[in-house]
Amino acid sequence: MTTRQLPADTSLRTRLGRMTWKGERIEWSAYFYVLPFFVPFVIFTIAAIIFGGYVSFTEWRIIGDPLWVGFANYVRAFNDDFVPKVWGNTFQLAAIVVPGTTILALLFALYVNQRLRGFTASRLAFYAPRVVSVTVVGLVWVWMLDTRFGVVNQYLHRAGIPYIPWLTNPDWVLWAVGITTIWWDLGFHMVILLAALQDIPSELKDAASIDGASALQQFWHVVMPLLRPAISLVITLEIISAFRIFSQIFVMTQGGPAGASFSIIFYIYERGFMNTELGYSSALSLMLFLTILVVTLIQLRIIRERA
Amino acid sequence: MVARLKLVMGVQGRLTVGRVLLWIIGLWLAYMWILPFVWMVSTSFKLPGEVMTQTIEWIPRTWTLDNYRVVFEKPIVRWLWNSMVVTTAITMASIMLGAAAGYALARMNFPGRNVFFMMLLLSLMIPTEMTIVPRFIAFLKLRATDSYAALILPPIAEVFSVYLFRQFFLSLPRELEEAAAMDGASRFRIFLVIALPLARATVIAAAVLLFTTNWNAFLWPLLITFSEEMKTLPIGMAAFAPVTMNRTQIESYAPGMAAMTILGVPSLIVFLFLQRYFMEGVISTGIKG
C-alpha cells in the first residue's frame, strides 16, 4: 500500500510546488510566517470590530443574552442630550491640543535643529514626558495646576494674574487637560518634524541665502513647503489621538466638574463599563470612528488643496 | 567677546542677536519642560503638612520617607511584577510575529498576500477603542477576565510591528538571500540566519516602542483587571489620584507624588540610556511609515 501512495504523494507535492500566483512560484511555507500573526489579528481586531458592530444593534447588560433592538441605540444617541456635549468637549479639546502641539513642536524642532550648545539636552527634556505613564503625567499636572498651591498658579500670581481654578471650574477644565496633553505629546511630534528638517538639503537654504533671502523668507519659501508632508502627518496623528483622549481625564477629572471634561471615550467607558450598557457603548464607539474618519478626510483634503 | 560667546553657544558662522535669544529661550524652555518632574520628586520627600506652602519651595524643609512608606502599603511589588511579565511577553511576541509576517509580506509570493496587507492598512485607521467592548465580552464569556491571558493576548497582534519589519525587509537588497538560496539554504534558514540578524536595528527600535507603549497601557488593563493583585503598575498607582480619593488633596499630594516618582523615574532613567533608540523608533514610524 505504501508503495502505491508514494508516487501520488510526490505528484501532489510537485504539483503544489509548480503552482504559480501572479506569474511566480507560490511559496506555501509563507503561511507559517503569516498565520501566527494573522490568527490573533483576525480574532482580536477584525472579528472584534464586526462583533462590535453587531453588539451596537442589541441591548446587552453583560449578564444575560443580547436582545436585538435594531437602530434603537443610534436613535437614543441622537436624542441623548449628553452626546452633543461630549462631542463638543472632544472637538474643543482637539481645537486646543492640535494647533498647540503642532505650532510648539515645530518651534521646538526649529530650535533644536540649530544645534546650539545644549540642544541634545533640550531634545531629551522635550521628549521626556512621553516616556512616563499617563498616570504620572495626569497626577503631576493635577498637583501643578492646584488652584491655590500649584506651581502654575503661583507663577501666574507672581505675574499679577489671579488664581485660575483649572480643575474645579467647567470653563477651565478642558484647558487643564489640553495643557497636560500638549506637555505629554509634544516630544513625539517634535522628533518627527526634526527628522524631516534634517532631510532638507542645506544647499537649498544656502542657495536661497545667496539670492538674498532673509531667514524668515528662507523658512517660509524653502523650509515650509518641504516640511508640508511631515506637518500633515503630525496633524493627522494628533487629530486621531485628540479624539481618543481618555486616560488623562480618568486620572485628572473623572469627567468633572459637572461633566465639563467628559470626552467621547470617557462617555463610552462610563456607559459601557460603569452602567453596563454594552450595546449603547458600542454604538457610540462606531459613531466615534465615523467622526474620526470624516475629520481626518476633511483635514487631508484641506492640506492637499493648499499644497 | 563675540568669539567667546560663539564658542559657548557652539555656533559656526554669523552670530546674530536672534540666535543668542533663540539659544537662551530654548534652554529656558527645556528647563521649564522638566520642572514638573522636579516638582514631583521634591514633593515626594516633603512632610504632608509642608506640601502646601505660600511660595514655591523646591527643596523640602524636612526630608522624609514617610510618603514612600504609605505607597508600599499597597501591593506595588506585585503590580511591578505584573507589568514586567505582561509587557515583556507582549513585546517579545509582537516582535516575533511581526518579523515573521513582515518578512513573508516583503519577500514571499503567496495567494492572499495583498489581501493581508490591505487588512493591515485598513486596521490602522480604526481606533483600538472600537474593539474594547467586544474584546471585553469575549473574555467575560470565556471566564478569562482578570488574568495574564486577558492582559497579554489582545495586544500581541501589533500591526505596527509587521509594518516596520515589512518596510525594513523591502529595503534590504535581495542578493545576499539569493546567494544563500543558490547554496541550497532553506527559506527558514535564510530568514533566521541572514535576514533577521540584519534587522537588528529594527528589532531594537520596535522593542523600545512596544515596551514603552505597553508598559504605559491604560484603558485595556483598567477594564480587564478587577482584583488588586492582577493590576499593572499604572492602573494600581492611579488609585493615588486625588479625584478617585474624593479630593482629600491635602493628604494625598505627598504620597501621590512618591507613587509617581516610583512609577516615573525608572522610565526616565531607561530613556536617558536608550534615548537614541527611542528617537529612531519614532522616526521609523513617522517618516518612513
* Judgement on whether residues B158 and B36 belong to the same structural domain of the protein: no
Among residues B29, B47, B111, the alpha carbon closest in space to that of A104 is found at B29
State whether residue A34 sits within 8 Å of chain B by CB: yes
Q: Has residue B250 been placed in a domain?
A: no
* Judgement on whether residues B173 and B156 belong to the same structural domain of the protein: yes
Give residues 44 to 83 of B whose Cβ lies within 8 Å of A: 51-53, 55-56
CB B129 to CB A246 under 8 A?
A: yes
Q: Name chain A contacts of B216, Cβ cutoff 8 Å.
A: 132-134
DSSP secondary structure, chain B, as one string: -HHHHHHHHT--S---HHHHHHHHHHHHHHHHHHHHHHHHHHHHTS-GGGSS-SS--SS-SS---HHHHHHTTS-HHHHHHHHHHHHHHHHHHHHHHHHHHHHHHHH---TTHHHHHHHHHHHHTS-GGGGHHHHHHHHHHTT--SSHHHHHHHHHS-HHHHHHHHHHHHHS-SHHHHHHHHTT--HHHIIIIIIHHHTHHHHHHHHHHHHHHHHT--HHHHHH--SGGG--HHHHHGGG-GGGGTT-HHHHHHHHHHHHHHHHHHHHHHHHHHHHHHHHHHHHHHT--
Q: What average pLDDT does the segment A74-82 reach?
A: 94
Report how many domains make up chain A. Answer: 1
| 3-class SS of residue A271 | helix
CB pairs under 8 A between A and B: 298
Among residues A86, A57, A90, A62, the alpha carbon closest in space to that of A72 is found at A57
* Judgement on whether residues B191 and B218 belong to the same structural domain of the protein: yes
Q: Has residue A3 been placed in a domain?
A: no
Q: Name chain A contacts of B249, Cβ cutoff 8 Å.
A: 146
Distance in angstroms (rounded) separating the CA atoms of residues B223 and A96: 28
pLDDT at A2: 46
Q: Has residue B134 been placed in a domain?
A: yes
Q: How confident is the model at residue B288 (pLDDT cuts 50, 70, 90)?
A: very low
User: How far is A8 from chain B, CA to nearest CA, in Å?
Assistant: 24
* Judgement on whether residues B54 and B109 belong to the same structural domain of the protein: no
Residue A129's CB: how many other CB atoms inside 10 A?
26
- Residue B120 structural domain: 75-240
* Judgement on whether residues B21 and B106 belong to the same structural domain of the protein: no
Q: Has residue A15 been placed in a domain?
A: no
Contact B212, B160 (CB under 8 A): no
Q: How confident is the model at residue B185 (pLDDT cuts 50, 70, 90)?
A: confident
What residue in A sits closest to B102 (Cα-Cα)?
A34
Contacts of A250 (CB under 8 A, 6+ apart): A138, A266, A269, B218, B222, B238
| 3-class SS of residue A154 | helix
pLDDT at B287: 47
More confident residue, A265 or A3: A265
* Judgement on whether residues B27 and B60 belong to the same structural domain of the protein: yes
* Judgement on whether residues B176 and B222 belong to the same structural domain of the protein: yes
Q: Has residue A120 been placed in a domain?
A: yes
Please report, as a single letter, which amino acid is at residue B165.
F
The residue out of B67, B86, B101 marking a domain boundary is B67
- What would the pLDDT profile of B125-155 be if each residue is shown by its tens digit? 787 888 998 999 999 889 889 999 999 999 9
Distance in angstroms (rounded) separating the CA atoms of residues A243 and B77: 34
DSSP secondary structure, A64-115, as one string: S--EE-TTHHHHHHHH-THHHHHHHHHHHHHHHHHHHHHHHHHHHHHHHHT-
Domain with residue B141: its CATH number is: 1.10.3720.10
- Average pLDDT of chain A? 88
Q: Has residue B135 been placed in a domain?
A: yes
Identify the bridge partners of residue A68 per DSSP, sorted by sequence position: A58
- What would the pLDDT profile of A53-71 be if each residue is shown by its tens digit? 999 999 988 777 888 999 9
Distance in angstroms (rounded) separating the CA atoms of residues B125 and A49: 12
| 3-class SS of residue A138 | helix
Q: Has residue A208 been placed in a domain?
A: yes
State whether residue B187 sits within 8 Å of chain A by CB: yes
Q: Which of B132, B135, B263 sits opposite A136 (nearest CB)?
A: B263
CB A282 to CB B133 under 8 A?
A: yes
What residue in A sits closest to B22 (Cα-Cα)?
A111
Q: How confident is the model at residue B250 (pLDDT cuts 50, 70, 90)?
A: low
Contact B33, A105 (CB under 8 A): no
The residue out of B41, B67, B93 marking a domain boundary is B67
* Judgement on whether residues B7 and B98 belong to the same structural domain of the protein: no
* Judgement on whether residues B16 and B141 belong to the same structural domain of the protein: no
Q: Has residue B161 been placed in a domain?
A: yes
Identify the bridge partners of residue A58 per DSSP, sorted by sequence position: A68
Q: Name chain B contacts of A132, Cβ cutoff 8 Å.
A: 216, 263-264, 267-268
Distance in angstroms (rounded) separating the CA atoms of residues B125 and A296: 10
Q: What is the pTM of this model?
A: 0.89
- Average pLDDT of chain B? 87
User: How far is B232 from chain A, CA to nearest CA, in Å?
Assistant: 11
Domain with residue A223: its CATH number is: 1.10.3720.10
Q: Has residue A47 been placed in a domain?
A: no
| Cα B75–chain centre separation | 23
Distance in angstroms (rounded) separating the CA atoms of residues A81 and A278: 19
Among residues A174, A185, A168, the alpha carbon closest in space to that of A90 is found at A174
Q: Has residue A55 been placed in a domain?
A: no
The residue out of B19, B46, B67 marking a domain boundary is B67
Distance in angstroms (rounded) separating the CA atoms of residues B125 and B159: 11
Identify the bridge partners of residue A296 per DSSP, sorted by sequence position: none
Q: Has residue B278 been placed in a domain?
A: no
pLDDT at A47: 92
* Judgement on whether residues B90 and B169 belong to the same structural domain of the protein: yes
B84-98, B118-132, B163-177, B185-199 — which one is most confidently predicted on average?
A: B84-98
Residue A4: enclosing H or E segment and its boundaries? helix A2-18
Report how many domains make up chain B. Answer: 2
| Cα B48–chain centre separation | 31
Residue A307 has pLDDT above 60, yes or no: no
CB A135 to CB B134 under 8 A?
A: no
Distance in angstroms (rounded) separating the CA atoms of residues B148 and B86: 7
State whether residue A71 sits within 8 Å of chain B by CB: no
Q: Has residue B288 been placed in a domain?
A: no
* Judgement on whether residues B26 and B128 belong to the same structural domain of the protein: no
CB B129 to CB A265 under 8 A?
A: yes
- Residue A265 structural domain: 81-306
Q: Has residue B206 been placed in a domain?
A: yes
State whether residue A267 sits within 8 Å of chain B by CB: no
What residue in A sits closest to B137 (Cα-Cα)?
A62
- DSSP category for residue A61: -
Q: Name chain A contacts of B108, Cβ cutoff 8 Å.
A: 27, 29-30, 33
Q: What average pLDDT does the segment A30-53 reach?
A: 92
Distances (CA, A) of B141 to A34, A178, A248: 28, 38, 30
A10-19, A95-104, A145-154, A211-220 — which one is most confidently predicted on average?
A: A95-104
Q: Has residue A45 been placed in a domain?
A: no
Distance in angstroms (rounded) separating the CA atoms of residues A210 and A197: 20
CB B101 to CB A34 under 8 A?
A: yes
Instruction: Out of A217-231, A252-266, B37-51, B205-219, pick the least confident.
Output: A217-231
| Cα B255–chain centre separation | 25
- For an interface test with B, the pick among A26, A28, A34, A250 (most B C-beta atoms closer than 10 Å) comes out as A34
- DSSP category for residue A164: P
CB A55 to CB B137 under 8 A?
A: yes
Q: Has residue B281 been placed in a domain?
A: no
Q: Name chain A contacts of B243, Cβ cutoff 8 Å.
A: 142, 251-254, 256
Distance in angstroms (rounded) separating the CA atoms of residues B75 and B198: 42
* Judgement on whether residues B221 and B138 belong to the same structural domain of the protein: yes
Residue B181: half-sphere exposure toward Cβ, Cα within 13 Å: 10
